[in-house]
Chains A and B, each alone.
Chain A
């Protein structure tokens, strides 16, 4: 039941955009209408469909239990199994980003406890999933669709909201664990594989005060495959790693206070990551005169540091109005140390360190609700403001030699209202105005409605919009030489994303709840207009510039089911989506829809007698197609290039010992041994066409063992 309870809480939290209330004690909850709904649920201890219906968004939840079954240490470990989402790993930078509805990480926002998480390229968007540690996470919530009214710009394809733990039923909780993983078939106790150690301590001083903290060390030693590591001294393209070595430290702390009609928490996080990039190009420096070689290479060490501070207060004003205010200072900086490495003598020289990219600044968000006593109408007002300093060095993006430092201030105000017309129908319009120091004022709107049929079916429609702000490349690129002219455009306007979702769902169950089936059919249509693309702005000489010019369309339908029968649980989801691109930036284009299928499924079986849970996760990503120009034809003729379909399978066995105190998880990731996926697409063009080597998605089948001790007093 706890799962359903969570689900309900999350619906609720989105409804009022007050995520932290998910752990509200009853004392605060009493007065608000929403809280009363919640209380009903809590009191009755079962699903109150009417309450669930109040929620206007479809929220997918990845509960802690699933994170544990996947032995997920970072977000990148677990999102592979989510329907519609795919992970785009970039082995050469070590980053992994989200792709959803065919749109990359720039269109997707990652939040922690309802506020966007900063990274070196943005606030909430373009996040590197491998940098998000999951050790103090209660659950991960995913909402698809444009969420501009709730979360502002760059929430075009959807959002992830990571809910951290802020309470405990125990006075003391001490949880150390160690996890050892192979990286493909490479493993060594010290120098190869993935080595994770973590310690988490939580303490409840009183009913009011709770603290917790955790530290994690995650050492990913990189994957060589057919490469030879950093000491390889020949210029045969085999120096370095296929997947870059990455060493992460993460420390987090939380202080939480819960009083009557007031609740507050402060949460901080420090994250440190080092990524080593060893160039595959070796300068052998053969000296024919002395017949000696003294090979050198140009290497980079990237160090990222993130500080995250979040102070939240929530409660009631004048015994009436609920408020929830978050204030946050965050920064993430990626420094690079560039040097020449003398391979034989292991010497560094020409060492130059500089800031590579960074974002830092202040953020605040507040919501106010429960202005009326009416049960038919409710109103929420809110603000969101941020003041973010961005920096990018010319090493990160091709600029005209100068580094770019820019401050983006944004001041948003939003309002949503809900109207209930009778028992079965309610709707909720919302709007947000976004004022910023860089772009002209943007608006975001949303309208959602739900209808509950007599027979238990629920129909929901959600329309939302969100803009996507231009990134630094698009604004500031400057790459001009005798043969090339590619320039950014500081006059770019944000792209405009609009999404419409329809959801029809029903829960089927036996009276005695012996089995339960939840089914849902969804359909969506998502568009992005004024899409920014490199455009030819002059034919002779040929010159390119970024402009708001293209259009993107994605529609699709999905069917998801969850079946629970005793100790057996089965999830199955199917999704078919089509995308169409109107490329006004090109001479000609084909905007026919190209379709792709995804299947996601997981099976869990628990044998209480032996305290063991078996899990199997499987996601199939069907072939994906793209239109490419046929190089053989003089007239523009399009052919479809294909990226092969592939399956991603993870499995684990979790067994507990000593009254659940000791937990052992054995498992395997990427059981189908996916590495490179063939694709016949041709990239590049012009004179720098890149070789088609396929898309590198994984490093092969890997095994892990996790040993966790959980002391609760």
Chain B
């Protein structure tokens, strides 16, 4: 009996002894604290006089500290041609940061422009970081040019605004600038070129349908009741693309027909105002771009010389408002908002942006219009076009000017589109595609390769894209 128990006890010990599993799981490598300039170059045009120079960290700063930056000059002199904030002394300045920060910055003030034909520059170098074991790596140097030059490389984090994707962000690569406008800040874009075309705001899923009537005051809600369910995005009706603008960006395909000189040829349009920017916080990794429905309007657009005349009213109104809208020289469109009943600023000048981060009304062939979050259009109206390259064909680092295939550029603003991310579906969230990059021809004809480095932030929250690019 005793022996049996001993036996059992011994067996139990050996058996359960094996159950202490190892879960150390290999070696962890704590993230290094690396400091670098966000971008290796900065250039001023004649308008700018002050710019912020960003320094970025690889991880949050472990403690309060400072970065020491030295500089050399080229035909410039501190205090005469430029100053910095914080101020520099004997070719060196110190920029402080606090523990937990993800970066820091200093200001560069340009005091005198370069005389045409001469080069004026300041070259900054990160020389020391106060944190122990910190590394200086990547963009360790920054060249500031006093004259406008295309950035040779850079990285940009467009401020799309998180999972509600509040903003349309216009990015100009050569000047490393971004301009943003709230998605629902405008409704109609009146083309400023020679044609008379009016675009609708696809980023809030607007849709319009031409009515029979040419009398805006005579149209009632009852007249359009049966039409309304069809005049929307995402109805899974292959024919519903007539209610939205041509997805390629071609102005010939706007949902509102070209505005005719003959008033009688300009019908009343039923306008679905789409959806306000969402305000809810979705599950991590999802988007909530769609807010409340913005309702309906009826509009009619006429021409008056080189101007547009916009008539608009609520569906059941028997009178209407009228507004004259002029073309804006240097811009693609003059934007109008029903909310403010005013002309609003949205896009930068026509040649001052290359790509636009936006929610977008796209088409899925056979299923009609379909709303896309995280979309990227190119400024195709000014000749900015892009095409994708798979890393399986050639690595991003190896891609050179000689590899550019001009024939691959299609006249379509969706050259990047949604191809930079994997689409989600039931049970899977969209994610960044790491096996593709893009070749982009900008509005000045410069050729870049661009690669997306983030779709979300580190925690997986949508609406925090980032990309890097290099001039070829």
Contact = CB atoms under 8 A, between A and B. Distances in A.
Interface of A: 174, 176-178, 189-191, 195, 197, 199, 217, 219, 221, 230-231, 234-236, 281, 283-292, 294, 296, 298, 338, 340, 342, 344-347, 349-350, 394-395, 401, 481-484, 539-542, 684, 686-688, 690, 709, 711, 713
Given A283-B432, A290-B35, A340-B458, A687 B370 contact: yes
B138 A288 contact: yes
B138 A292 contact: yes
Given A191-B21, A219-B21, A483-B370, A283 B460 contact: yes
A235 B19 contact: no
Interface of B: 1, 4, 7-8, 11-12, 14-16, 18-19, 21-23, 25-26, 28-32, 34-39, 56-59, 137-139, 155, 205, 229-230, 232-237, 240, 275, 280, 283-285, 289-290, 364, 367, 370-371, 423-426, 429, 431-432, 434-435, 453-456, 458-460, 468
Given A482-B371, A483-B234, A294 B458 contact: yes
A482 B32 CA distance: 43
A192 to B, nearest CB: 10
B19 A217 contact: yes
B458 A292 contact: no
Given A176-B11, A290-B137, A482 B19 contact: no
A345 B31 contact: yes
Contacts of B232: 541
Which among A290, A346, A542 has the greatest number of chain B C-beta atoms within 10 A? A290
A349 B60 CA distance: 14
Nearest to A180: B18
A289 to B, nearest CB: 5
Contact of B229 (A234, A285, A286, A540): A540
Given A283-B432, A482-B234, A541-B234, A177 B15 contact: yes
A289 B21 contact: no
A289 B138 contact: yes
Which of B18, B26, B139, B435 counts the most chain A CB atoms within 10 A?
A: B18
Given A296-B458, A344-B29, A482-B233, A178 B18 contact: yes
B456 A283 contact: yes
A688 B429 CA distance: 12
Given A483-B370, A709-B8, A236 B290 contact: no
Contacts of B32: 292
Contacts of B11: 176, 178, 709
A336 B202 CA distance: 38
B294 to A, nearest CB: 13
A484 B234 contact: yes
Given A294-B458, A482-B290, 6 more contacts: A191-B23, A290-B58, A338-B284, A482-B275, A687-B367, A711-B8
B229 to A, nearest CB: 5
Contact of A285 (B14, B137, B454): B454
Nearest to A189: B18
Contacts of B28: 344-347
Nearest to A197: B15
Contacts of B370: 483, 687
The 4 closest A-B pairs by CB, nearest first: A688-B425, A288-B468, A483-B234, A542-B236
A346 B26 CA distance: 9
A294 B15 contact: no
A298 B284 contact: yes
B236 to A, nearest CB: 4
B367 A686 contact: yes
A362 to B, nearest CB: 33
Contacts of B59: 294
21 contacts: A174-B4, A176-B12, A191-B21, A195-B18, A199-B15, A235-B432, A281-B431, A283-B432, A285-B453, A290-B35, A292-B137, A344-B28, A345-B29, A345-B31, A350-B284, A481-B371, A540-B236, A541-B237, A542-B236, A684-B425, A686-B236
B4 A713 contact: yes
B47 to A, nearest CB: 26
Contacts of B31: 292, 294, 342, 344-345
Contacts of A484: 234
A289 B39 contact: yes
B84 to A, nearest CB: 20
A688 B423 contact: yes
A483 B371 contact: yes
A230 B23 CA distance: 12
Contact of B285 (A190, A290, A298, A394): A298
A291 B468 CA distance: 11
- Interface hub of B7, B37, B468 (most chain A Cβ within 10 A): B7
A289 B25 contact: no
A176 B12 CA distance: 7
A590 B460 CA distance: 43
B18 A541 contact: no
Contacts of A285: 453-454, 458
Nearest to B371: A482
A713 to B, nearest CB: 7
A289 B139 contact: yes
Contact of B453 (A221, A288, A338): A288
A349 B38 CA distance: 26
Nearest to B25: A231
B234 to A, nearest CB: 4
Contacts of A291: 34, 36, 137-138
Contacts of A298: 284-285, 459-460
Given A288-B138, A289-B37, A346 B454 contact: no
Indicate the member of A285, A395, A483, A709 with the most B CB atoms within 10 Å: A483
A286 B137 contact: no
A244 B425 CA distance: 21
Contacts of A290: 34-36, 56-58, 137-139
Contacts of B233: 482-483
Contacts of A349: 459
Nearest to A684: B425
A347 B30 CA distance: 9
A398 to B, nearest CB: 8
A340 B425 CA distance: 21
Contact of A190 (B21, B56, B240, B423): B21
A634 to B, nearest CB: 11
Nearest to B280: A401
A283 B8 CA distance: 51
Contacts of A345: 28-31
Contacts of A197: 15-16, 18-19
A629 to B, nearest CB: 13
Given A283-B460, A482-B234, A289 B38 contact: yes
B229 A541 contact: yes
Given A345-B31, A540-B230, A482 B205 contact: yes
Nearest to B26: A231
Contacts of B36: 289-291
B260 to A, nearest CB: 30
Contacts of A540: 229-230, 235-237, 240
A221 B21 CA distance: 10
A292 B453 contact: no
Contacts of B56: 287, 289-290
Nearest to B359: A482
Nearest to B103: A289
A191 B25 CA distance: 9
Contact of A176 (B8, B23, B429): B8
Contacts of A221: 21
B265 to A, nearest CB: 29
A287 B58 contact: yes
Contacts of B280: 401
Contacts of B424: 688
B371 to A, nearest CB: 4
A178 B14 CA distance: 9
A542 B367 CA distance: 10
A346 B19 contact: no
Nearest to A295: B458
Contacts of A292: 31-32, 34, 58, 137-138
